[in-house]
Chain A
Amino acid sequence: MVNYAFTPPLAAAKEIHVEHTGNWRGLLPIVLVNFLFNVITIGFYRFWGKTKVRRYLWRHTVLDGTRLEYTGTGLELFFGFLVAAAIFFVVALGGEFMFGQSADPTTLMIYNLSFFAFIVLFTGFAVYRARNYRLSRSNWRGIRGGMSGSAWRHALRWLGYNVLIILSLGFALPWVRTRLQTPLAKQSQFGGTNLQFNAPVGPLYRPFLICLAATMAMFVFVGLLIVLSIYLSSEAVSAIMDEAKSAIETDFKQSISYGVGAVLGIIAVLFIGFFYVGIAAIFSCYFSFELRHFLNHTGYQEMAVKIDADAKSLIKLALGNFLLTLFTLGICYPLAQLRNFKFFINRMSFDGALNIDAILQSSQDKPQTGEGWAEMFDVGNV
């Protein structure tokens, strides 16, 4: 029999406000100390460094006057990594020795495809497990999050949908990412309540096609630059050769052509590098649009998320983050994460009200170790 006498009445649902109070001055010392310790420990400190960054980002997220907490530890990340690394090591080394050196092209092809499938499958697994770990270590008013579905089911979906991306030559990307995000979001819980998510794919195709067109334009531009450089270099070489035709010994001629070859090689590498950087920059803009779209179609209880951000501000955010990460060789990536947190959280509002008292603790067990597979495959942005 339930004793109602000791249960206070539920408060009415209320409108809530969220803000991010972090700033780069607060995070930069953490980033620099992490970098220093990473150097000293040949990268081994990263589990603890990542935890410190998360703790900062979470702590400065204030929802209805209460700070979010991150309760994960570096040791949990480290243990998770050890387990994943041991399994990966055995599979990769065993596969390499049994089939990786095979002279039979069919065996080699099947092995390479299987290994690729293994990597993709476990990447999907890693994405799900990492999300579960992060949610389970996120605490607000004593309530934590979690995932209510199966990581293996998500991994299989991930594998299938990634094959579709390849078969569609990339055109299915927005559709696939929305299809993968849907169960991920719907199975995400805060307390015992799942998030709601219902994002249509259509609106994502406009920014996607614009990014694709920009990539094509850049491809043509870089291609023309390469052709032009080769043409100009070959002209210069023939001029030198013609001028000193009789005097130059064969060896010397050969060394000139080797030199020119090397210069052309460097030009080509630079242009190809520029091309890759360009693609990454363009698609970082797309992913910002996508995140806004996904957030705008997320809800919790009777509350719907709204993000007030126009295209210009999204592009500015994405390119700023991209350049910040590129020019600091990834060291200041946490500052880019901070910019993302501040941008989206400070522009976030909620349609509808939240019944805080109705949020009950999650009944799910917390995972004991964290994100090993995500660490192995370098997935998960935070």
Chain B
Amino acid sequence: MTKGLYFDGKSARQQEVDVRLTGQFVEFTDGTGRLDESWPMTELWTPERKVAAGRPVTLACHDREDARLTIEDLTFADALLGQAPNLGRGMLAGPERGKQVAIVFALLLFCLAGGAAILHFYAAPMARVIPVAWVAPLGDQAFGLLVGKNRLCKSDDADRIIRQMAGKFAHTLGQMPPVEILIADTKTVNAFALPGGRIIFMRGIIDKMDNPNEFAAVLAHEMAHVAERHPTVAYIRVMGFRAILSIITSGTGVFENIGEVGSLLAMLSYSRKYEADADRLAFKQLAAQEIDPRGLANLFRKMQKQKKEKRKMEKRKNKQATKKENNISIDIIDYFSTHPAITERIATAEAEFARNGHTGAGLNDTDWQAIKRVCG
């Protein structure tokens, strides 16, 4: 028997009580018969999180939410722990704690997986219903970043030839947004489609082309990206991932980069699927015009060769440990983006040729030269 203070949770009045432990209950009474309570050991918890031996104890009971019993007698904690050892291990000791942790992680995974699933399944339908005018400013921004101050190459002949070819491809693709095709005067070897329907060829890629069917293959590929709204889909997914991750990690500035890395990985992994889809549709367009699909394969082979040579040169130059780290990161990015895909894509183009046997060039020599000379 020891002395304690009882607060009934209805008023702040304190009542002095005699407290005793009976094995299964903590019993307390004010000695007048007005107050006589028993709290089962299994229903006890402490706002102190756990009962510590040799310290005052505050107890609460699950079915008496706000009521409190405090015992200043320092020996009481030992006696209580002898009968209810769980109180010494914290409120959620053992399986309860494990259960709560499991619930939290399950919820976290559910939120992440749910968000990712929504983005995965609904980004493409969303991209289709978003008006082109809404995403065009995005395309303008990307255009400014990628093309910058480089001159745009123009000639009436080249414009007419490209428009004609694009028109035929668009006919095969069916319903698609209006397309604008531009050639930028830069030695970068690349071509890309932007949100809003703009397709950019860099002069560098045209310089690399030896045959008009290579140009036709690249144009068909980019037209497929525009028709499928791939740039908009990618934007929705990247923005979505970034938003989910930045919301979850908000308030912890140190981790903001995780959102960036996550969205980059998401973008790269999705881009491989887009490329495969765009190739498939490109072969359909080329087949409709009886153009040789190996143009795409030839261009890839040249890029692969150039990449290998460049890599050899870099390896020779960079033998220091720090540079090695950079190479490792380049390898990782390559893995996620294009490295295995290029070999697969060359094989797919060859298989397409084996299937349809088309050998058309897509353009006569005069027209092809007009395009090759467009940047002077």
A interface residue numbers (CB < 8 A to B): 6, 8, 11, 38-39, 42-44, 46, 55, 59, 66-67, 69-71, 75, 78, 82, 85, 88-89, 92-93, 96-98, 101-103, 139-144, 191, 329-330, 356-361, 375-376, 378
Contacts and interface: CB of A to CB of B under 8 A. Distances in A.
B47 interface: yes
30 contacts: A6-B34, A42-B248, A42-B249, A42-B252, A43-B251, A43-B252, A43-B254, A44-B249, A46-B251, A59-B48, A67-B58, A70-B47, A75-B104, A89-B115, A89-B244, A89-B247, A92-B243, A93-B243, A101-B134, A101-B135, A102-B137, A139-B66, A141-B12, A144-B66, A356-B13, A357-B13, A359-B11, A361-B9, A361-B11, A375-B251
A282 B186 CA distance: 52
Contacts of B68: 69, 139, 141-142
Interface string B188-208: 000000000000000000000
B239 A96 contact: yes
A360 B11 contact: yes
B333 interface: no
Given A103-B133, A141-B68, A330-B253, 12 more contacts: A8-B13, A11-B13, A43-B251, A69-B68, A70-B47, A93-B240, A97-B130, A97-B134, A101-B135, A102-B137, A141-B14, A356-B12
Interface in B239-265: 239-240, 243-244, 247-255, 258
A98 B258 contact: no
A141 B7 contact: yes
Given A101-B135, A378-B251, A360 B10 contact: yes
A144 B9 CA distance: 9
Contact of A43 (B66, B100, B126, B249): B249
A141 B13 CA distance: 8
B56 to A, nearest CB: 9
A376 B247 CA distance: 8
Nearest to B72: A65
Contacts, number: 114
B248 A103 contact: no
Contacts of A44: 108, 248-249
Contact of B12 (A67, A329, A357): A357
Most chain A CB within 10 A, of B8, B68, B258, is at B68
Contact of B66 (A42, A82, A142, A359): A142
Interface in B1-56: 7-14, 34, 47-49
A57 to B, nearest CB: 14
Contacts of A93: 239-240, 243
Name the interface size band of chain B: 35 or more
Contact of A143 (B49, B66, B136, B258): B66
B111 interface: yes
Given A142-B68, A143-B12, A378 B134 contact: no
Contacts of A376: 247, 250
A103 B47 CA distance: 57
Contacts of B8: 142
B8 to A, nearest CB: 6
Nearest to B127: A97
B138 interface: yes
Given A46-B251, A71-B47, A89-B247, A142 B136 contact: no
B107 interface: yes
A358 B10 CA distance: 10
A95 to B, nearest CB: 12
B34 A357 contact: no
A65 B49 CA distance: 20
Contacts of A361: 9-11, 66
A309 to B, nearest CB: 28
B67 interface: yes
B104 A101 contact: no
Contacts of A375: 250-251
Nearest to A366: B65
Nearest to B195: A101
Contacts of A144: 66
A98 B48 CA distance: 50
B130 A357 contact: no
A109 B229 CA distance: 27
Contacts of A67: 58
B137 A101 contact: yes
A268 to B, nearest CB: 22
In the A-B complex, the 8 residue pairs with the closest CB atoms = A43-B252, A142-B7, A359-B12, A142-B9, A69-B47, A141-B12, A357-B13, A43-B249
A67 B49 CA distance: 14
Interface in B318-340: none
B10 A78 contact: no
B12 A140 contact: yes
A360 B240 CA distance: 49
Most chain B CB within 10 A, of A139, A144, A378, is at A139
A92 B7 CA distance: 47
B239 to A, nearest CB: 7
Interface string B113-130: 001000000000010001
Contact of A88 (B34, B58, B247): B247
Contact of A38 (B67, B239, B252): B252
A356 to B, nearest CB: 5
A88 B10 CA distance: 38
Contacts of B14: 66, 141, 356
A98 B126 CA distance: 11
